[in-house]
Amino acid sequence: MSWRFFEPPKLFFGENALFENGHLMRELGRKAVITTGKSSSRNGSLDDLKDVLDEQGVEYEIYNRVGENPSFDMLRNARKLFQGKSVDFVIGLGGGSPMDFAKALAILLSNPDLEVEEIYNASKYDKMLPVVEIPTTSGTGSEVTQYSVITSDEGYKGGFGTDFTFPTISFADPRYTVTMPTDLTMSTGIDALCHAIEGFVSRRSNRMVQMMASEAVNLIRDNLEMAMKYPDNLEVRERMMYASTLAGVVIAQSGTTVNHAFGYPVTTFKGVRHGQATGMFLIETLKVMMEENGQVVREAIKPFGDVENLEKFLEKLGVYNANITISDEDIENWSKRTSKAKHLKVTYGNFDYDTVRSIYEKVREKL
């Protein structure tokens, strides 16, 4: 068995991680752009970041218009504002959306001739400004991955991720996540669960990654419901953040499977959050993967015992509670795309058009 493990970011984890280690940002330059949403001004993270940057004498501009599922248009807009302004590095502050956005903006700012639509094609560029990531959700693991997911003008999610698109430094402080409401806690935690399980069963996985994935699955099984019930419990929040960071390290090595591709149109066209939209397909996609490699799937979900128990867990947390209508035409369009997803290269099982279609139909019945 041959494999590699590549995890370049310097990660600082735990309460006050930013205060204690924020001085390292000074090495990245004198001027930063902070990409964020609106919630960072309500969970204390933006104030902390501003304090640290002020103390270090780093100048910054704040771009706080990053919405959920960042799009090409948001990128065009931000690029216009900051191109040619001697920006040295980009800080992504928030959930996966602002963190992914930071990576994409950092690429555009250091490759002025690159068209925004070319960003999915990493062979078109070879550099990126340094990126700092500060998560305020426990889900995507973007603080330790090379990936960035951006929605195209047509409404489809696509992404990039290569060796030089990892963040340079990340500060993961669970204090910033206590303000997450129940449904967001659920969705982001399920995203992390999918990363751990999908990363475990990926064809690109290895024993080292699987060890981390199992730890993440255990932590999520034991803590996600508690985090939903007791949002202020910092210890539980810390365990969820640890799980999501671990799961991020896992997918940085082995990638996600086609299960992630199933959820993308449900998010962009029906407005269901990323983690929930991904989690609702997990059982049906795992069943198909089991047809080719039952052993790896059984090992991945061992903390739950079997697929039935995993499904009960998802049901109990509300993963199937989505108030949406999916038409036959939606299923036809989505199936065409998902049955050609690039994730298929690393996914066990035969996900041809008919199989994909039947999975969409089965999940529609569950909602």
Query: Applying CB under 6 A, which residues contact ligand NAP?
Result: 37-40, 43, 68-69, 94-97, 100, 136-137, 139-142, 145, 147-149, 157, 176-177, 179-180, 184, 188, 191, 274-275
280-314 core/surface letters (b: 16 or more CB in 10 A; e: else): bbbbbbbebbbeeeeebbeebbebbeebeebbebb
Q: How far is the CB of 101 from ligand NAP (least distance, A)?
A: 9
Distance CA 198, CA 167 (A): 22
User: Two tokens at 249?
Assistant: 């390290």
For ligand NAP, give the closer residue by CB, 274 or 343: 274
By CB under 5 A, the residues from 153 to 212 that bind Fe ion are 191
For Fe ion, give the closer residue by CB, 191 or 284: 191
Q: How far is the CB of 20 from Fe ion (least distance, A)?
A: 29
Does residue number 238 form part of the binding site for Fe ion (CB under 5 A)? no
Distance CA 275, CA 145 (A): 17
Q: How far is the CB of 320 from ligand NAP (least distance, A)?
A: 18
Answer with the entry of ligand NAP, Fe ion, none that 168 interacts with (C-beta below 5 to 8 A by kind). none
For Fe ion, give the closer residue by CB, 18 or 172: 172
E strand intervals along the chain: 10-13, 31-36, 59-63, 89-94, 131-135, 148-151, 157-160, 169-172
Answer with the entry of Fe ion, ligand NAP, none that 63 interacts with (C-beta below 5 to 8 A by kind). none
Helix, strand or coil, per DSSP, at residue 71:
strand
Which of 149, 161, 220 is closest to 190 using CA atoms? 220
For ligand NAP, give the closer residue by CB, 148 or 257: 148
Q: How far is the CB of 84 from ligand NAP (least distance, A)?
A: 27
Which of 120, 153, 260, 148 is closest to 196 using CA atoms? 260
Answer with the entry of ligand NAP, Fe ion, none that 268 interacts with (C-beta below 5 to 8 A by kind). none
Q: How far is the CB of 140 from Fe ion (least distance, A)?
A: 6
CB 276 within 8 A of CB 78: no
Residues counted in the chain: 367
CB 115 within 8 A of CB 57: no
> Residue type for 70, please?
P
For ligand NAP, give the closer residue by CB, 196 or 290: 196
Sign, CA torsion 312/135/177/236:
positive
Query: How big is the site for Fe ion, counted in residues (CB under 5 A)?
Result: 1
Q: How far is the CB of 212 from ligand NAP (least distance, A)?
A: 15
Q: For residue 151, list its beta bridge partners.
A: 71, 157
Distance CA 243, CA 144 (A): 12
Distance CA 323, CA 367 (A): 7
Answer with the entry of Fe ion, ligand NAP, none that 68 interacts with (C-beta below 5 to 8 A by kind). ligand NAP
User: Two tokens at 365?
Assistant: 């019945």
For ligand NAP, give the closer residue by CB, 102 or 344: 102
Answer with the entry of ligand NAP, Fe ion, none that 245 interacts with (C-beta below 5 to 8 A by kind). none
For Fe ion, give the closer residue by CB, 143 or 191: 191
Answer with the entry of ligand NAP, Fe ion, none that 38 interacts with (C-beta below 5 to 8 A by kind). ligand NAP
Q: How far is the CB of 274 from Fe ion (least distance, A)?
A: 6
Q: How far is the CB of 194 from Fe ion (least distance, A)?
A: 6
User: Two tokens at 307?
Assistant: 């697929």
Answer with the entry of Fe ion, ligand NAP, none that 48 interacts with (C-beta below 5 to 8 A by kind). none
Q: For residue 117, list its beta bridge partners.
A: none
Nearest residue to Fe ion on Cβ basis: 191
For ligand NAP, give the closer residue by CB, 140 or 205: 140
Interface residues with Fe ion (CB under 5 A)? 191
